[in-house]
Chains A and B, each alone.
Chain A
Amino acid sequence: METLARKLIARAAGQSEVTTGDVVVCDVDLAMIHDSGGPRRVKPMLERLGRNVWDKDRVVVISDHYVPADSDETRAIQALTRQWVQDEHIDNFYDEQGICHVVLPERGHLAPGMFCVGGDSHSPTGGAFGAYMFGVGATEMAGVLATGSIWLRVPETILIEWDNHLGSYVTAKDMMLAVCGRIGMGGGRYQAIQYAGSAVRDLSMQERMTLSNMAAELGAQAGLIAPDDLTVAFVNEAGGTLSDDWRDYRIEIADDPADHLLFDAAALSPQIAAPHSPANAADADEFSDTNFDVAYIGACTGAKYVDLAAAASVLKGRRIASGITLKVAPASRQDQDRAVRDGVMKILEDAGAQFLPNSCGICAGYGDDRLAEDDVCLSSTARNFKGRMGAPGSRVYLASPYTVAASAVVGRMRDPRDLMGN
């Protein structure tokens, strides 16, 4: 039986169908790179090959990791990025406009049916738009940029089905932490995940992006969601181009891939994952009253407009507890502007939030703003590996923006429903 993953791969491979385990060569519709893994790494390899990018209009460059550039080394990386973009005549360059996985769809670069690669491990985010998108290393990216194609072993498919509907203050982030808790970080074994079910269809596009984004935490290659009217509305508003056949990219639950995991959204509680793995997730209740110092609303996973609005709905008319620092790094300039317009940023500010630039910020731990030794952070990001966000002795717990905001108000970790009543 056809799965959405195989349909997308077959299209890119120019075949009527493909079989799991086949190695095929696919045409790439779009390649995205950022300042860290991008120009500075691929430039020497392209020079060795004597090639320029195969199609400048299919390459998108986004500076987000070394933003703000706060050292000579990072300023040099930004300068190299800007120069390379000019040399290659690439128009699709977003310089300090936000995090790549969020900027890419908001500027209309993704649409159902596409086959895309990204030079970043959270590239499965693109799957939320019904596109096959996955992350590659710098050598592979150089190959893609030189040829416009890439080899792929057609992966097995896992179906993750969410029945029923989420309760109040329970989000896509909680869904993913629960899946990580159940099947672990190697649970994806480089398969293509397909998300389906009523609770997935209920989600806004930005929440769907969180599901696809964290397919990376499961060890999957891709995290696909079938396009629907919401997808179409998003793509149109972003100025993207829809192909007529977008309705063909469906997920049939009856296709029944070998692995089919069923979850009940109605039974899901807000989740918290303890250091140092997303797989250490459990009901937020189990961490009730755990101390922490820094509340972080950031990253492609947890600081999109919907995430900022979720935090604001908890923080409205409240202030964070003394002893807690709340840092917010809105995922993109566009999302931040929207949050300014409708008062979300004002609510966060009045609650005591400090704002960071629209970039990877503390999530990547690349800049000066990092966690200090012994800091305990409750974070809306995707990963809590040891030392990732700062000093080796820092500890990171993962949760949804609701849970981070409510815990910041209480001063201890909490199920947001305790604060908000339910």
Chain B
Amino acid sequence: MPRLWRFDETIDTDVLAPGKYMKSPLAEIAAHCLEAVRPDFAVSVGSGDVVLGTANFGVGSSREQAAEVLRHLGIAAVIAPSFAGIFYRNAINLGLPVFTLPDDLYQHPGLADGAELIFDFDAAALTLTASGEVLTLDPLPVFLRDMILDGGLIPHLEKRFQADIEEKGVS
């Protein structure tokens, strides 16, 4: 059952993708994702899990790998009261769902570390397994939602260019 990973400290790009491993392949960087704050994260995380962070999530450098490792580890969504700008852009361009949530929801007792839940991208909602309660996140603008659905900017453009070719009947 997918679970919530709640972080109450500021998560920066160095914690997500430690500088020391930046020259290594993505899988290697991912193996060290968040180890500075939660040594068991990379080994225990499962597909469909959700990360909940504090304000300004992903602050730091412009390295795209900070978002890429979370997607690589199977994280279904990252949720935070706010995101650092470049991280937010990188996440969407790499197809990693990122959602903000209102303050009162952030305080919800059901959003405890380890809580079992199901994330629904289309509804932008979390269903808490224990209570069955559905928590609705801030919706994404349609434009960004479509890009994430396509898997990020490059596949999104591939699809768009393909459509252009089919429409015009030229290559």
Contact = CB atoms under 8 A, between A and B. Distances in A.
Interface in B89-131: 89-90, 93-94
Interface in B128-155: 141, 143-144, 147, 152-154
A151 B143 contact: yes
B31 interface: no
Nearest to A221: B85
A326 B161 CA distance: 53
A189 interface: yes
A84 interface: no
Given A25-B143, A121-B62, A142-B154, A190 B88 contact: yes
A248 to B, nearest CB: 27
Interface string A178-213: 000000011001100000000000000000000000
B89 A137 contact: yes
Given A139-B64, A219-B59, A48 B158 contact: yes
Nearest to A191: B85
A139 B157 contact: no
Contacts of A143: 93, 153-154, 157
A50 interface: yes
Given A23-B141, A45-B154, A50 B89 contact: no
A153 B84 CA distance: 13
A137 B143 contact: no
A247 B86 CA distance: 31
A95 interface: no
A147 interface: yes
Contacts of A372: none
Interface residues of A, number: 28
Interface-central residue, A45, A153, A185, A387, by most chain B CB under 10 Å = A153
Given A23-B143, A139-B152, A189 B157 contact: no
A121 B88 CA distance: 15
Contact of A137 (B64, B144, B157): B64
Contact of B153 (A23, A140, A155): A140
B85 A189 contact: yes
Contacts of A147: 157
A186 B61 contact: no
A137 B62 contact: yes
Nearest to A48: B154
Nearest to B90: A137
A23 B19 CA distance: 32
B64 A138 contact: yes
Contacts of A221: 85
Interface-central residue, A135, A140, A153, A219, by most chain B CB under 10 Å = A140
Interface-central residue, A49, A137, A153, A221, by most chain B CB under 10 Å = A137
B89 A49 contact: no
A186 B62 CA distance: 14
A9 to B, nearest CB: 14
Contacts of A139: 64, 90, 93-94, 152-154
6 contacts: A23-B143, A45-B154, A51-B161, A137-B86, A140-B90, A221-B85
Query: What 8 A-B pairs come out closest when comparing CB atoms?
Result: A190-B85, A23-B141, A137-B64, A143-B153, A139-B93, A186-B56, A121-B62, A23-B143
